[in-house]
Amino acid sequence: MNLLGVFHRARRPGLRGEEAAAEHLVRQGLAILARNYRCRGGELDLVARDVDGTTVFVEVKERGGRSHGEGYEAVTAGKRRRLRVAAWHYASRHGVFESASRFDVISVEWAGGKPHVRWDRGAFGEDGR
C-alpha cells in the first residue's frame, strides 16, 4: 500500500461509502452529476439526475455497524439546513432551478467486506422536514 492511499483515506473516511452509494445509484439508472460539491455553506456528497429528470441531492452516511444507529438518523436539522444551502448554491450555478429536485439519504453499512445500502428517497423536503 502506498502512503498516498493511506493519506487519502485518512482525509476522506467516507470515500468508500460514497463510492458504494454512487455505484448503487448508477445501477438504478441515475446519472452522477457531481461528487463532493462544496460551497461556503455546506457540502453535497453526491448530486445525481434520476431517470425522470429530477435532480437528486444525496447525503451518504457510512457505518461499520448499527451500534451508532442507522446512517439516516445522523442527518440532523443543522445538517439538513447545510444541505439545502449547498443544493441552492449548486442549482444556481448549474441552472437546475426549473427541474424537480429532492433530498435523498443513503446509508451504507459494511458487513463481511460488502456494502449493504439503504436508500431513503425524499428523506426530507426543501423545508428541512
pTM for the whole structure: 0.85
Inside any domain, residue 3: no
pLDDT one-digit tens code per residue, 68-78: 667 677 888 99
Inside any domain, residue 8: no
Inside any domain, residue 29: yes
Inside any domain, residue 96: yes
> Which CATH number does the domain housing residue 58 bear?
3.40.1350.10
* Count of domains observed in the chain: 1
Residues in contact with 124: Cβ distance below 8 Å, sequence separation at least 6, in sequence order: 75, 80, 103, 105
**C-alpha span between 91 and 38 (Å, rounded):** 13
**C-alpha span between 46 and 30 (Å, rounded):** 11
Residue 57, domain extent: 13-124
CB 47 within 8 A of CB 55: yes
pLDDT one-digit tens code per residue, 17-71: 999 999 999 999 999 999 999 999 899 999 999 999 999 999 999 876 666 667 6
